[in-house]
Structure 1
C-alpha cells in the first residue's frame, strides 16, 4: 500500500498561520484584507493563484512581490501557527504498522513543508516529504505526483492520494491514483466529488478504516 498525503488541511490545520500571513501580504501591498475567515479558500491550492485573485492582478511581478511579503511573516511565525488534526498521528502509525509506504505530497514549498512535518514529530511516519520549489516548480499537484512516482519507482495503480481540495483529487485522477477526499479539511464534499474523488473520509479514523484491511485493524 502506497499513500500520498497532502499537508495543509489534511495532516495539519494551518488556518491561523496562512490567513494571517496572507493578510500581512495584502496590507504590505496596500490592499485592505478581508476577514480572516474569508481567506480560507487559499488553504491548499497553489498560493500564487490565490494571491492573484485577491489582488485582482495576475502580473507576475505583482504576485511575486506579494508572495515575498507573505513569506516575510510565514517563514518565521506563520509556519508554526498550525496544529496536527486529531487522530492523524495515530492513523499514520496504524498505516505504517499495516505495511504502508507513506509520502507527503504538498503544493507548499519543500523548505517549509519539511520543517512543519519535523516540528510536529510526523516525519518518522513518512518515507519522504515532497513539495514545490520556492520558484513554483511543481506547485501544481499534476506535476508533483509524477515526479514522486518516478523518484521512488512507484506505480500509480498501487497508490492513493489523500487530500482535502479538488486540486488533490484532479491530480490523482489525471495520473491514475485512487483519490480519497479528507472532509475534515477545507474542501467541501461537492468540491471533492466534482473533482473526481473515488471516496470520502469524515475523519482520520474513518480514513484508517477505509485503507486498512480488517485483519490489519
Structure 2
C-alpha cells in the first residue's frame, strides 16, 4: 500500500475563517489596510512569511506580523474551521485499505498538531509534518522531504494530496505521484497550470483512485 501525504487547509478542513481573520488581525496591528475577502483567501496555502513579505518589505516587520497572526490563531483561529463533508469517510476508507497516512502542511507544526488532535480522524495519521516556528522549513518541497525522512518512505511509493499549486509543485519536485482536490482554495486552472494531471471533485473519489 502507498503512503499518502495530505495537505491540511483546503484539503482536510475549510479553514478560511480562521486564517483570514488572523491575517486581518495581523495587518491591522501593523497599521495596514485589510484587503477584500477575495484577496485574503489567497493567503491560504503559502507560508505566512511568503505572503507578508511583499506588503512589508522588511524582515523584522514580517516577523512582527507573523507574531500578531500567531497570537490570534493560538487563542481563536486554530478552532475556526470545518471538516469537509465526506473527508472523514474517505480517510477511514483509506486507512482500512492499508494505506499509511500523514499530514504535510505549511502551517507551523505545533498548530497543525493541535488541529489534528481535534479532528475526528486525526488519530489515523502516523505523523504531522509542518513548518518550523522560525520559518527555516516552510515550503512544500522542504516539508515533503522532511516527511519522507521521518517516515523512511520512498517518494516513488507516496502520493501528495492537496488543493493548491504548492502541493503539486512540491510533489513534482520529488517526482511523486499527486492528486489535486477541487473542494479547496486553488481550483482546476491553478492545479493544472502547476502540472496536476489527476483532479478529484469529491473526497469519496479518493479511495477508488488510490486503489487503482
Which interval holds the TM-score relative to the shorter structure? over 0.9
How far apart, in 2, do the equivalents of 1:177 and 1:139 lie?
A: 19
* Alignment pair present for 1:45 and 2:43: no
Unaligned ranges ≥5, structure 2? none
TM-score calculated relative to the size of structure 2: 0.96
TM-score calculated relative to the size of structure 1: 0.94
Unaligned ranges ≥5, structure 1? none
Q: CA deviation at 1:2?
A: 1.1
Q: CA deviation at 1:196?
A: 1.4
Which digits, 9 at most, give the CA deviation of each residue in 1:189-212, with x for residues without a partner?
111111111300111112222112
How far apart, in 2, do the equivalents of 1:161 and 1:8 lie?
A: 14
Q: Which residue of 1 aligns with 2:172?
A: 173
Q: Which residue of 1 aligns with 2:59?
A: 60
Q: CA deviation at 1:124?
A: 1.4
How far apart, in 2, do the equivalents of 1:137 and 1:106 lie?
A: 14
Q: CA deviation at 1:120?
A: 1.9
* Alignment pair present for 1:120 and 2:122: no
Aligned to 1:75, the other structure's residue is in SS state: helix
* Alignment pair present for 1:2 and 2:15: no
How far apart, in 2, do the equivalents of 1:209 and 1:73 lie?
A: 39
Q: CA deviation at 1:122?
A: 2.4
Which digits, 9 at most, give the CA deviation of each residue in 1:1-53, with x for residues without a partner?
11000000100010000001100111111112023332001101111111223
RMSD, aligned CA: 1.1
Aligned residues: 211
CA contact (8 A) 1:20 1:36 kept: no
Q: Which residue of 2 aligns with 1:16?
A: 17
CA contact (8 A) 1:179 1:196 kept: no
How far apart, in 2, do the equivalents of 1:72 and 1:146 lie?
A: 29
Q: CA deviation at 1:110?
A: 0.7
Deviates more, 1:36-45 or 1:89-98: 36-45
Q: CA deviation at 1:176?
A: 1.3
How far apart, in 1, do the equivalents of 2:114 and 2:108 lie?
A: 10
Which digits, 9 at most, give the CA deviation of each residue in 1:70-120, with x for residues without a partner?
111111101100111111110000001100000100010110000101112
Q: Which residue of 1 aligns with 2:211?
A: 212
CA contact (8 A) 1:2 1:159 kept: yes
Q: Which residue of 2 aligns with 1:29?
A: 30
How far apart, in 1, do the equivalents of 2:174 and 2:57 lie?
A: 28
